[in-house]
Amino acid sequence: MKRTYQLLVVLLFLVGMSVAGCVAQDDTKSSLNSPQVTVYPASGDGEAYEYVADETSSGGTASDVSLSERKTITSIEISMEVDNASRTVDNIIEMTTKSGGYVSSSSVYDTYYDTTPRKEGYITVRIPSGNYTTFVKDIENLGDVTSESITGTDVTEEYIDLEARLNNLQKQEKRLTEILNMSKTVEEVLSVEKELERVRGEIDSLTGRLQYLDNKIDFATINIRITEPTPITHSWGMRDALSSSVQGFVSTVRAMIILVGYLLPIAIVLSVIIAILLAIRRRVHKKV
């Protein structure tokens, strides 16, 4: 009984830490301070005691981090015109490998301008953050750059908060594992395992997010659109003239059909009137 009592006290203590962690998650400043938790005995007897959680490993707020330590995700968009799109894509792939990066996706396809084909390409590469400046300069030498933009997203605050929460959860996991090893009854084991499963699930989620951010931070994303020059055609205007003449003929026929539609009812009415007049004239001649 005494052992079960002690186990419940420890579990309540861990739940108190989890609640403090949730409150800290909603308030970034609170998450970077040391929360104080009051733990009460499960039976209601005995004295409550105060527990001050360990400080997070962040060492301060995001604003305290120097510029060299800030976490930034870099994205670059480049559009360029080249003589040969396929060859340029191959050159970029080779340059990417030499720079220590990798190709995320690439494609080369045919487009048509006035029935004349030309090739276009699109390639996305990931380049180590320390090498992307040199890589972009080398890319600019492959053709005529028509547009270029660089975007940097600062994720330092999110990164620090994730590390702090992960550090806290890992401590909880260690303590719960120790409690699990001390548990003897089935009820105690199931209770601790349930809490341990929840903590490990949150650890996996935070670890996955940090790995995703690390990849985005360590490798700049560069999207490159490649086009070939617009082809120049010499048709001497014959095709345009033929097209215009056909359109003119169709328009004339259409106008004639519309005109007949308007005149046909008038012609019918006039024919009836003329027929009546002729009939009257014949009767007058007969009487005479």
Beta-carbon contacts of residue 230 (< 8 Å; ≥ 6 apart): 113, 118
Give me the residue spans of the domains in the chain. Answer: 69-233, 237-288
Distance in angstroms (rounded) separating the CA atoms of residues 84 and 119: 8
**Contact in structure between 163 and 56 (CB atoms under 8 Å):** yes
Statement: residue 42 has pLDDT above 70: no
pLDDT tens, 63-110? 455 555 789 999 999 999 999 999 999 999 999 999 999 999 999 988
Could you tell me where the beta strands, DSSP code E, fall in the chain? 36-39, 49-52, 72-81, 102-113, 116-128, 144-154, 219-227
Question: Among residues 149, 151, 132, which one has the least CA distance to residue 72?
Answer: 151
Given this model, what pLDDT does residue 281 score? 77
pLDDT tens, 161-204? 999 999 999 999 999 999 888 888 888 889 889 999 999 999 99
Residue predicted with more confidence, 282 or 243: 282
pTM of the model: 0.58
Pairing of strands 102-113, 49-52: unpaired
SS3 27: coil
Helices and strands in the chain: count of H runs, count of E runs: 7, 7
Buried b (16+ CB within 10 A) or exposed e, 62-91: beebeeeeebebbebebbbbbeebeebbeb
Statement: residue 151 has pLDDT above 50: yes
Residue predicted with more confidence, 19 or 213: 213
Q: What angle do CA 56, 60, 66 make, to 5 degrees?
A: 130
Distance in angstroms (rounded) separating the CA atoms of residues 229 and 50: 74
Distance in angstroms (rounded) separating the CA atoms of residues 98 and 100: 5
Say how many Å lie between the first and final Cα of the chain, rounded.
Answer: 143
**Contact in structure between 172 and 20 (CB atoms under 8 Å):** no
User: Per-residue confidence at 1, pLDDT binned at 50, 70, 90?
Assistant: very low
SS3 87: helix
Q: Tokens at residue 56, please?
A: 């997070």
